[in-house]
Structure 1
Amino acid sequence: MKIGLIQEQSLKLRMTQELKQAITLLQYSSADLLSYVQELVVENPLIDVKETYSTPYRERRTNSNKQSFIENSLKERTCLREHLRNQLIDIRMEQKERVYVDFLIDALDANGYLKDDLAELASILKVSEELLESKLYLLQTLDPVGIGARSLQECILLQLRKLPVRNAVAETIISDHFRSFAEKSWKDLSKKVNVPISEIQEIQNIIKTLEPRPGLKYESDETTYITPDLTIERVNDELHIIYNDEILPQLIINQPIKLNESNRLDTETKDYYSKHLTQGKWLQRAIDQRKETMINVMKVILHKQKEYFLYGKNFLKPLTLMDIAETLDVHVSTVSRTVKDKFVQTPHGLVSMKSFFSTKLDEVSGEVSTTSVKIHLKELISAEDKMKPLSDQKIANLLKTSYGITISRRTVTKYREQLNIPTSVIRKQY
């Protein structure tokens, strides 16, 4: 075995730090980019911002017409935990008891459910499970009704017991026969509780008025409004792309001195100044490049999905990231980063850029996307006779006769499940 030096020539792609940062900036949402710019403004003394106050596409519920872009969320609602603790103020209890109730409040999820095992929580507090359960019962008396439930069954039952006119049969069904009721085994259920199926249907109608996730409306103490990055404006039959420059404050790069031999600055000061000046100019270029890339991608989307923008969601055609990448002669990852967390205001509402992409349905010929098939499927189910809901096979037949879309029953079942639409047996009303 010989030992020696071997010289080889090879090519390697090395990404500069600026290129890496530019790629990162491209995939940032407008909110993330704003936060990033704010951080650099604080760190870099050469970067200033010119605040813009008009935000035509941001919803507001405030008396003031002026608001800084730095404030990108508005306090609208009281958070769930604060709402519950406010109700405890007038309830007399010992300090230890209040600690236990506070602990349970903190354990609630965003929907208002207590998902943790009560025995485990009791062991953490080093109290008996019975004691902690008594505090849970206290919590469950608070508003909103159904709060502190450990399951959907308990949540519904708590709300039934608080109705102005209580329904004993409904409470019995939910308490003792919840599975049969949920699975719509109503024929057997009617025999067990000795009531007609029509009455069970009335009970279901009552339950539909209840709130399955009572804590959801208090989910956050801040409401964040989505500001579209782009707007598609229709003028007659022409579509125009408008980039929302007001998403970000205007950057100003200060250059109070020029670096040349006449400047009597020490090396460290020159390096500091040069570094921050380069960073500021790079940030401006990166933001401009991000804007240009987004507009270019949107132009191709607009061209390929023109019927969608003119006539609505039913006309969405199959479109992939690769289609855009090939048209623009860029890498598919560039397109993926461009559409990530970006939003567009269209004539049919605010949508994410990702929503314009949909695969082609293999089972049919022509330009039919899976998204448009799902829209038609939802329309058929929403218009069905609730007394005789459509089976998956009947939906497949109607898609063919009404829209010229030929797909199998299995595909209908798959799409229905993806849309979280129950089976015809569950949808049936009596």
Structure 2
Amino acid sequence: MNMEYGLFQQQSMKLVMTNELRQAITILQYSVLDLKQYLHEQQLENPLMELNDNIIKEEIAREKYDFDYGYRKTRAGTSEPLDMDENDSLVEQLSRSEEGLQDVLLNQIRFLHLDPLMKRILTYLALNVDENGYLKSTSQEVAEEIKEPQESVEEALKILQSLEPYGVGATSLKECLLLQLKQLEVRDLLAEEIVRKHLDLLAKKQLKRIAKEEDVDIQEVQYVFDFIQTLNPKPGAIYQREPAKYIVPDVTVKKVNGEYIVYLNEDHLPEMTMNPRYKALMNNGESDVSQYMKQKYEQFQWIRRSVMQRQETLLKVAKAIVDYQKAFLEKGPTELRPMTLKMIGEMVGAHESTVSRATTKKYIQTPKGLYELKYFFKSNVGDSDGEDTSSERVKIYLKRLVDKENKQKPLSDQKLMTALKAKYGIQVSRRTVAKYREEMHILSSTQRKRYVE
């Protein structure tokens, strides 16, 4: 072995992550709205870059979206209509939607006939409830903060807890539920007792144990459980001021003459052009200004190429997904085929990591609805015929079985496994059934059991 010291030349190949390459990867995984924001940020740093927003097209698209979908708001990947009373005017709806929990409480306090001290303490309490309607400080802590008698604070707290929405001003979930139960015209003493003493057992749905400890019929406990489910554990949440978040599809697929046509929604992306006035400064000899403009010109060209590459990659990936999932587009989620990133990568000639970035936070508008591109990548499960079926299909059939089961004798995971094979020809293990059930937030058979219809 040669252990000599010395200087030697050696050739090697390394993949260097340059700033430009990192930028291209980042642009690829941006959603259309994120990309628009990114381009505007780059425009502030690059005098050569000009962005022409398609304002008119965006307004038309937004108006059409609002008209078709009833001012839909989206949260955590779901879409739900904004509740509107048909008897209310739009102005009333907008003003009401901007009213927060503290505004609601202060409006009620304004009309109460109280002495100045009590109104001041009550106002302080109202301003210190959190977004869910809970008061985190005890009456003693509040008294110390405002330097007032604790008895006065406790009296003000009782007034606060009598205001709407019922349950506001509570310091715990138990107190919140009890406040709502005590506001009923006809008090349910059993429900109050169960909440006061057995809220933990109620959460675990151990109804038999509660019935035994309270010496009542299991059916009565079931009625109490069902009623408590109608109470609001976060009474202040309905007044949270959360701005509407619109999902803009990056890709749209339509069926034309029996063929599915895929195209990008580029109306929301600004048109990138170069400022000719600053461009002329590049030819100003070897001055510092000229060098600076040449650097910004290269950055502009790289961003434009990265955006074009993003669009090309996204379109190729979307077309491959649509070609592979035609059965889904025809019949819906039950026909979703198993598909992996590697499969699509091989179809478009790209690495699976590129496919992953191209489908991150991207949405496609299909004849069956709006879906995230990631939705179509599902693992495969073998069926009784030796063919593959998607995990999404298994979940759909699993939910059907649970929905149709006898709630007084719910199906165990073992019985669900047997039913999947017998009715749908899908062969999975009991552990897989339990896994999918938990992913769909379906309770176990013990917790799903009901004692009354």
C-alpha spacing 1:396/1:379, structure 2 compared with 1 (3 Å) = same
Task: Please show how residues 39-118 of structure 1 align to structure 2 within 5 Å.
Answer: 39-52=41-54, 53-55=56-58, 58=62, 59-60=65-66, 77-81=98-102, 83-84=104-105, 87=108, 89=110, 94=117, 97=121, 101=125, 104-105=128-129, 108=130, 111-113=132-134
Identify the residue that residue 68 of structure 1 maps to in structure 2: none
Kindly provide the amino acid, as one letter, of the partner of residue 426 in structure 2.
I
Which of 223, 246, 270 is the aligned partner of 1:249? Answer: 270
Shift of 1:135: 6.5
CA contact (8 A) 2:338 2:378 kept: yes
Identify the residue that residue 438 of structure 2 maps to in structure 1: 417
Q: Find the aligned partners of 1:130 and 1:121 in 2 and give their Cα distance.
A: 9
Q: Which moved more, 1:158-167 or 1:331-340?
A: 158-167
Q: Which runs of 5 or more residues in structure 1 are unaligned?
A: 66-73
Which of 318, 331, 340 is the aligned partner of 1:298? Answer: 318
Q: Which moved more, 1:129-138 or 1:81-90?
A: 129-138
Is 1:6 the counterpart of 2:26 in the alignment? no
Q: Deviations over 1:286-317 (max 9, x none)?
A: 22211111111111111222211211111112
SS at match of 1:60: helix
Shift of 1:122: 6.5
C-alpha spacing 1:168/1:248, structure 2 compared with 1 (3 Å) = same
Kindly provide the amino acid, as one letter, of the partner of residue 43 in structure 1.
E
SS at match of 1:374: helix
Shift of 1:23: 0.9
CA contact (8 A) 1:345 1:351 kept: yes
Is 1:200 the counterpart of 2:221 in the alignment? yes
Q: Which moved more, 1:243-252 or 1:358-367?
A: 358-367
Q: CA RMSD in A?
A: 3.5
Shift of 1:144: 2.8
Identify the residue that residue 222 of structure 1 maps to in structure 2: 243
CA contact (8 A) 1:25 1:286 kept: yes
Identify the residue that residue 35 of structure 1 maps to in structure 2: 37
Kindly provide the amino acid, as one letter, of the partner of residue 31 in structure 1.
L
CA contact (8 A) 2:281 2:293 kept: no
Q: Find the aligned partners of 2:180 and 2:252 in 1 and give their Cα distance.
A: 44
Which of 200, 203, 215 is the aligned partner of 1:179? Answer: 200
C-alpha spacing 1:194/1:13, structure 2 compared with 1 (3 Å) = closer
Q: What's the % identity of the aligned pairs?
A: 39
CA contact (8 A) 2:122 2:160 kept: no
C-alpha spacing 1:257/1:38, structure 2 compared with 1 (3 Å) = closer
Kindly provide the amino acid, as one letter, of the partner of residue 26 in structure 2.
T
Q: Find the aligned partners of 2:6 and 2:143 in 1 and give their Cα distance.
A: 68
Identify the residue that residue 89 of structure 2 maps to in structure 1: none
Kindly provide the amino acid, as one letter, of the partner of residue 221 in structure 2.
I
Kindly provide the amino acid, as one letter, of the partner of residue 160 in structure 1.
L
TM-score (norm 1): 0.83
Q: Find the aligned partners of 2:344 and 2:154 in 1 and give their Cα distance.
A: 58
Is 1:352 the counterpart of 2:372 in the alignment? yes
Q: Find the aligned partners of 1:367 and 1:84 in 2 and give their Cα distance.
A: 57
Q: Find the aligned partners of 1:258 and 1:408 in 2 and give their Cα distance.
A: 66
Q: Find the aligned partners of 1:128 and 1:368 in 2 and give their Cα distance.
A: 68
Q: Deviations over 1:166-194 (max 9, x none)?
A: 32221122222223434344344334444
Kindly provide the amino acid, as one letter, of the partner of residue 222 in structure 2.
Q
Q: Which moved more, 1:51-60 or 1:379-388?
A: 51-60
Kindly provide the amino acid, as one letter, of the partner of residue 256 in structure 1.
R
Which of 359, 383, 391 is the aligned partner of 2:412? Answer: 391
Q: Find the aligned partners of 1:423 and 1:21 in 2 and give their Cα distance.
A: 47
Q: Which moved more, 1:244-253 or 1:193-202?
A: 193-202
CA contact (8 A) 1:388 1:428 kept: yes
CA contact (8 A) 2:32 2:268 kept: yes
Is 1:286 the counterpart of 2:312 in the alignment? no
Is 1:234 the counterpart of 2:255 in the alignment? yes
Kindly provide the amino acid, as one letter, of the partner of residue 317 in structure 1.
R
Identify the residue that residue 268 of structure 1 maps to in structure 2: 288
Is 1:313 the counterpart of 2:333 in the alignment? yes
Q: Find the aligned partners of 1:325 and 1:5 in 2 and give their Cα distance.
A: 44
Q: Find the aligned partners of 1:401 and 1:57 in 2 and give their Cα distance.
A: 48
SS at match of 2:273: strand
Q: Find the aligned partners of 1:98 and 1:50 in 2 and give their Cα distance.
A: 53
CA contact (8 A) 1:315 1:372 kept: yes
Count of aligned positions? 415
Q: Deviations over 1:197-232 (max 9, x none)?
A: 333333233223222333333343311111111122
Shift of 1:146: 2.8
Is 1:146 the counterpart of 2:167 in the alignment? yes
Is 1:404 the counterpart of 2:404 in the alignment? no
C-alpha spacing 1:112/1:284, structure 2 compared with 1 (3 Å) = farther
Identify the residue that residue 327 of structure 1 maps to in structure 2: 347
Kindly provide the amino acid, as one letter, of the partner of residue 46 in structure 1.
L
CA contact (8 A) 1:237 1:310 kept: no
Q: Find the aligned partners of 1:314 and 1:166 in 2 and give their Cα distance.
A: 47
